[in-house]
Structures are given as structure tokens and as C-alpha cells.
Amino acid sequence: MSRPLYRGFSGSGGKDRCADEDRHYDPKEPAENGIGAGTAARGRKRHLAAAAARIGVLVLAAAALVGSVAWAGSLYAGRGAAAAMAAASAHRGYRRLQEQLVTDLLDIGVLAGGGLRSREAEVCAAEYENYVPCYYNGSDAVDVSDLGGGVVISYDRQCARDGRATCLVAPPRAYRTPVRWPSSKEFIWKDNVRISGHEFSSGSLFKRMMVEEDQISFPSDAHMSDGVEDYAHQIAEMIGLRNEFNFNEAGVRTVLDIECGFGTLGAHLFERDLLTMCIANYESSGSQVQITLERGIPALIGSFASKQLPYPYLSFDMVHCARCNVEWDKNDGGFLVEVDRLLRPGGYFVWTTSLNTHRALRDKENQKKWTTIRNLANNLCWEMLSQQDETIVWKKTNKRDCYSSRKSEPVLCAKSHDPESPYYKPLNPCIAGTRSKRWIPIEHRTAWPSQARLNSTELDIHGVTSEVFGEDTSTWDSMVRNYWSLLSPLIFSDHPKRPGDEEPQPPFNMLRNVLDMNAHFGGFNAALLKSGKSVWVMNVVPTNAPNYLPLIFDRGFIGVQHDWCEAFPTYPRTYDMVHADGFLSLEKRQKRRCSTLDIFLEVDRIVRPEGWIIIRDTAPLIEAARSVAAQLRWDARILDLDIASDEKLLVCQKPFLKK
């Protein structure tokens, strides 16, 4: 059962770091960053004070221990069973008091030592401001503008736990607090993303932007005769709907947008209750993923190059590709097989390309490519629903017997194949098949928003009882209400403005991009939506936790599997808040894993300046996490969940250090 939060605060919090949006971060300012600001003499004084404090603590603790032994001995010297029992009870009570005394003395020792703590992390050099581990090395930084227009640099994902930067990734000098949703759909600050001249030359629908002195604007439909609204309407008609407002009724809720441009389609579909995940290759400049996230739309670095995407089987109702750079006719059809794995039965693959226009098909090479792709789609049991202009729509079969009646490859996967946990595994050339209990046509599934509340039959597929699911739901409903009660107005969207800001437009959203490090059933996500917050959540299921990611997708949410000892596939400064419930306990149970500092450094990289980190866990782990947070210069405070509870809440804010 859920417990109310106890309004008790402790820690180093309480200092308000909010100011106006025009603050700038100087990574070389010693007074702000706390590195190199002290002198050798000051350092010696601190060490002497700390040593004296430690000696005092040890003396007092030893005296307390000796006193407890002598006192307990005197009690046990009495005669009779009753006296012995009373003495034992008193002894246990005294031990608790003594342990609290030692803890208090240790806290006093820290205060006496001048706030002594572990050395603060160094700030990375300026070339690391867009550092993306697994894809990028700061020492190999390249200014793409020097390479000429049209050059795209991308690297395949290669993660190594050793050799990663162990410093704090600072934002660019001219970085500004991001524009808040929903205004961010229309414009973002130019200096918050890394761009070069060639990004502005593209005239495609999904890469239209206007660059002004300090901002990048994205033209709305009102200024386009062939805008995204017309495009979405066309897709709806091609699958037999009246318009794009009927997507949910047809079973479409989650969309995977391959190389999404700058998230224009996802921003539009969000207003139609569709949740769109953008994926694109790593790009060192003009990144589709970085700009899309800056606009407040879900995005992740991902590629069809050589590995499966970290999503389970049957995740998406629609996969969209508009002039993306995937060569669907290559790799023996392996890229289309991966799309088939991700699509639910009855789902749609929407492909917009210039390849199949009358002019393009005059070329024999284009004819060959188009024939290959069409035959591969037929072999996957896809039905071509419609073709208009440059857009083609295929529908994945919802008939189980189609696969057995085929006479050509690709073959069905063996029974031992696991399509639900594909964490960066090589592309698989076989069709995952129909054996899963989740193989349910989208038109037979519960429509959104009721989809988020799975019934007992749907829960049974995932081995979850209605009672467990119901308790999880009520717990998170209560926790989110308590989060708002305790932490508004600084953090959540109920507060209309922050100090120094102009009055924002409704819905006054101070949070938009949220990442849940240990999502479990997606209960935090569900509670946020139930409370009416205009946020989206990247639900992360750790690879060392039970895999409930299929359940999360079946609820109509999005998420990803991830090993938190590796870098998360995103750019720096892309999330407003990171949330973790029970994550520290999960990591503690593992052996030979990475350190908490390593993980928190990664969290610091992806959280925006002035962003928030909320960690819920057992009291000892929260206390330990607070000391790590101090190394990263986070403002941290501890909240008691309940006086009788052994869980605590660590609430941290990443500072925006200004010159």
C-alpha cells in the first residue's frame, strides 16, 4: 500500500538556483565550479579540521560503546527470568539510541570538517559539450561545416565501459534554458543544438526550418500548402480512415518514425493522441535526434545498420519512413524483417520515397530495387493497401496461416529464438512468427486511452495478476500526487511561471521530457498522464531487471531496454527529469557492475541544466547516493516517505553554473 510523504527535509538543498533564461555556463570559471579555487594552505587547514573532527567522533563513539557495555552488564547482573527479559529489551532500545548517536556524531564530524566531502568531479573540456559515448570521442571532434555541405558523419554503436569520459559534460557557453512545451514545437534556441550551414538547405517536409538571429523556427501548417496536416490526412485516407483523428479507433497508438527529420510528424500526431518515437543515426551536427528532443518530442539514437533495435517483438502499430536513408532492398531483406518484428499484426508500414515515381522508374536500376522491395514485402505476408504520389502503405498480415502457406524465404524463427529481448543483438534473418500470446491484431486490441488499463486477460499474458497491477497503479497515483504536493512550484507544471520568466502560454509546462530509469510496469508514466500532465516518458527497463517492456508497449507507452553500465543512446542535455525507483537496490544485487558514480555521471550528461533527478530507495542507499550527488555538484535534499518507512526520496537539481 502507498504511504504519504513526510514533510521532512535534510541535505544540502534549499538554495534556489533559478534565474532568467539568458544565463550562460562557463566551464572554466574556478569560483563557480569549485575546482582550483582553493589554495594549498586552505587545503591543509581543511585536512587538519577534518582529522580533528574524525578523532573527536571516534573518541565519543568509543565512549558510547563502552558505556553501553557497562550499562548492559549492570542490568544482566540482576536475578530472575523477568529481570533478564527486561534487561534484554532495554539493551535493544539502548543499542538503537547508540547507533543513532554514532550517526549524529558522524554528521557533526562532517560539519566540523567544513562540509568535507569527496572531491567534486572535473568539468570536461569544451570539445566534449556534445559528447555521446559509444558513438563519439571528444578527442576526434570534427567541425562538419569544414567538410562541405551534404556531409553526414555517423558511427555504429560501439560501447566500452573503460575509457569513457569521467568528467561533467558542460553545455555550450551560449546555452539557454530550453523553450518550454508547447512553444518548443514552433521554435528552439539556436545555440542549444550543434548545427552547420548545410542543415538549412533541405526543403523536405520534415526538415523545414527558418534560422533567425538566436532561434530556429519550424514553419507551421498555416504557412504550408503541402504541410504535415495534409500528409497525415493522406496516410489516414490510404488506410481507409476519414482523417487522422480516427487513428486511435483503428488501433494505432504507437509510431516508430525512422529518420524523422526534426520530429515534425511526431509533433503533429501527438495532438491526435499518437505517441511517435523518432530514431536516427548518430550525427555530429544537425542531429535529427538532438533537435527533435530539444523540441520536446521523443527520440533516440538508433539504426538499422547491423543490430536489432532495443524494442521487443510487436511494439509498434505503425512504422514510418519518409525519404529515410535505409536501403530496404539490401541485406537480403533483413531491414524489412526487422520492421516486421517490430510491427503488430495488422500494423502499417508507411514509406514515402521518390524511388517509385514514374520518372524514377524509367531508370532500370530503380526498377530493379522497387521489384526487390515489393517481392520482399509479399514474402513477409504484407498487403499493399494503397499508393499515392510518393507514398506507399503496406499492412502486416493479421492471419496466422499466411506464413505457413508461403513457398519462399524468409523462414520462421526456431522456437528457441527470443524476440522480446533484442538488446543490440545482430539482425535476425528469420520471421519471429505467431507463437507469442501477444500476437493480437491491432483492430482487436483495446483502443487508447483505455489501453493503458490492461484487463486481467491481457495481464495474464505477461504473468502479472490484477491485484499486483492494481496495487502498483494505486501506489503511483498516490506518489505522483505527493510529488506535486511537496515539490511544486519549483519542479512541476502546476506552477504558472518560474522567477524571471515571462508569463508562459498554457499549459504552463515546466517538464516535458521525462526518463524513468527502472520503469517496471510503467506505473509512473500512467500516473503522470492520469494527473493530466503534458509530458511523455521514456520508460527504461534495465537489462538486469525483469523484462516488462512488452507490457509497457501493450499499455500504449514507449520505452527501451538498456544496460545502465553503458551510455544511454541520446545527446547531452535532452531530458528535463530522470526518475529512478528501486534502481539502486537493483544495482546493489548485481556483482562486478559499474559504480554509482559512473551511472550518475551518465545521468548528469543527459539531464538539462536545472533539470531534476528523483530517486526513491532504501534509506542507506539514498544516504550513499547523496554523497555521490555532492561530487556532481547537484543540489540534493532527502525527503522521508513515512516516519515508519525504510524508504526515502532523494531530490536533486543539476545546477546551471553561470559565469
Number of H helices, E strands in the chain: 15, 18
Torsion angles phi and psi, residue 539, rounded to 5: -80, 115
Report residue 233 as a C-alpha cell.
490526412
Mean of the per-residue pLDDT values of the chain: 80
Q: Which residues, 6 or more positions from 142, have their beta carbon under 8 angstroms from its beta carbon?
A: 153, 284
Q: Which pLDDT value is given to residue 178?
A: 93
pLDDT at 285: 85
* pLDDT tens readout for residues 114-138: 333 468 999 999 989 999 999 865 4
The SS3 assignment for 467 reads: helix
Burial (CB < 10 A; 0-12, 13-18, 19+), residue 55, is exposed
**Cell 551510455 maps to which residue?**
567
Q: Residue 346 pLDDT more than 50? A: yes
Q: Which of 438, 154, 425, 418 is nearest to 310 (CA)?
A: 425
DSSP code for 191: G
Q: Domain-by-domain residue ranges, the chain? A: 452-493+508-654
Rg, the chain, Cα only: 28
CATH superfamily for 452-493+508-654 is: Vaccinia Virus protein VP39 (3.40.50.150)
- 114 versus 446: the higher-pLDDT residue is 446
* Choice between 626 and 490, residue whose per-residue pLDDT is larger: 626
User: How many of the other CB atoms lie within 10 Å of CB of 189?
Assistant: 18
Q: How far is CA 430 from CA 305, 310, 347, 398, 406, in A?
A: 17, 17, 19, 18, 13
pLDDT in tens, 285-325: 889 999 999 999 999 999 888 889 999 999 999 999 998 98
Helix (H) or strand (E) holding 392: strand 391-396
Measuring CA to CA, which residue among 607, 618, 609 is closest to residue 649?
618
Q: Rounded distance, CA 372 to CA 330, Å?
A: 9
Q: How far apart are CA 281 and CA 304, in angstroms?
A: 9
Cell digits of residue 365: 536500376
Cβ atoms of 112 and 52 closer than 8 Å:
yes
pLDDT band at 522 (very low <50, low <70, confident <90, very high): very high
| Range of weakest confidence among 112-126, 143-157, 613-627 | 143-157
- Amino acid sitting at position 208: R
Of 122, 109, 106, give the one whose Cα is nearest residue 30: 122
pLDDT tens-place string over residues 192-248:
999 876 655 444 666 778 888 899 998 765 444 468 899 999 999 999 999 989 999
From the number of C-beta atoms within 10 Å of its C-beta (0-12, 13-18, 19+), residue 6 rates as: middle
Which 8-state DSSP code applies to residue 411? P
**In the chain, what is the straight-line distance between the N-terminal and C-terminal CA atoms, in Å?**
47
Q: What is the pLDDT of residues 362-409, one digit of tens each?
A: 899 999 999 999 999 999 999 999 999 899 999 999 998 998 888 888
pLDDT at 271 over 50: yes
In the structure, what pLDDT confidence band is assigned to residue 499 with cuts at 50, 70 and 90? low
Q: Of 532, 572, 538, 534, nearest to 553 (Cα)?
A: 538
pLDDT at 592: 63
- Give 284's pLDDT tier (boundaries 50, 70, 90): confident
Regarding predicted confidence, which is higher, 219 or 153? 219
Residue in 247, 254, 253, 208 with CA at minimum distance from that of residue 227? 208
Phi-psi region of 152 (alpha: psi -120 to 50; beta: other; left: phi over 0): beta
**Helix-helix angle 523-530:466-487, to 10 degrees:** 60
Return the DSSP state at 591: S
Give the integer Cα–Cα distance in Å for 476 and 469.
11
Residue 117 corresponds to which cell in the numbers above? 566531502
- The percent of residues in the chain predicted with pLDDT above 70, rounded, is 72
